[in-house]
Amino acid sequence: IYAFGSRTDRHLNIIGETLQGSHAATEFVGWYNGHPDYRHHQFDLTSKRVAIIGMGNVAIDCARILCQDPENLAKTDIAQHALEALRQSEVEEVFLIGRRGPVQAAFTPAEVRELLHLPKVDAVMRASDLELDEHSKEELSKASRNTKLNMEILQQIHDQGDRGNPRKLHLCFLISP
């Protein structure tokens, strides 16, 4: 799944992008929300690992849907066909992949904070992703309150670490295809 801040899908122009199993976030979000144009899409959830390219709110939403216990999702307004498919899901690890660093991430504090509290899910990240270069340090010093709060929450995610839950959500920064 590739998810980045755009009203329309954009291609990443990377090898494998057109292979079966690669989907735009628009398709996945439309599918689990029951949008008529996407209701009949099929997603292979038999893989143990899923990669989501993007570090915005939509990417986090997609990751949360894939990681979350379907019984918790049953209490929401998720589309029934998506819930049934997610009940059969074999996904154990989701990798959120961003080409830029954590200071440049586009998600909001409210969205990323939820990752700390997903039942049966460990949100994890590498310590090296919190080590900022001079450019990012300068950007952070001038950043909005939300960006600074994001960094605090990411530190909490790192500190919380792997607690032995059955599902993992990896936040991976500074990775280029």
3-class state of residue 97 by DSSP: strand
CA separation for the pair 151, 143 (Å, rounded): 11
pLDDT in tens, 52-77: 999 999 999 999 999 999 999 999 99
CA 61 to chain centre: 6
DSSP state for residue 8 in the 8-state scheme = S
Phi, psi of 159 (to 5 degrees): -65, -35
- The domains of the chain, with CATH numbers, are 25-172 (3.50.50.60)
Q: Which of 116, 117, 120 is nearest to 92 (CA)?
A: 120
Give the global pTM.
Answer: 0.88
DSSP state for residue 7 in the 8-state scheme = S
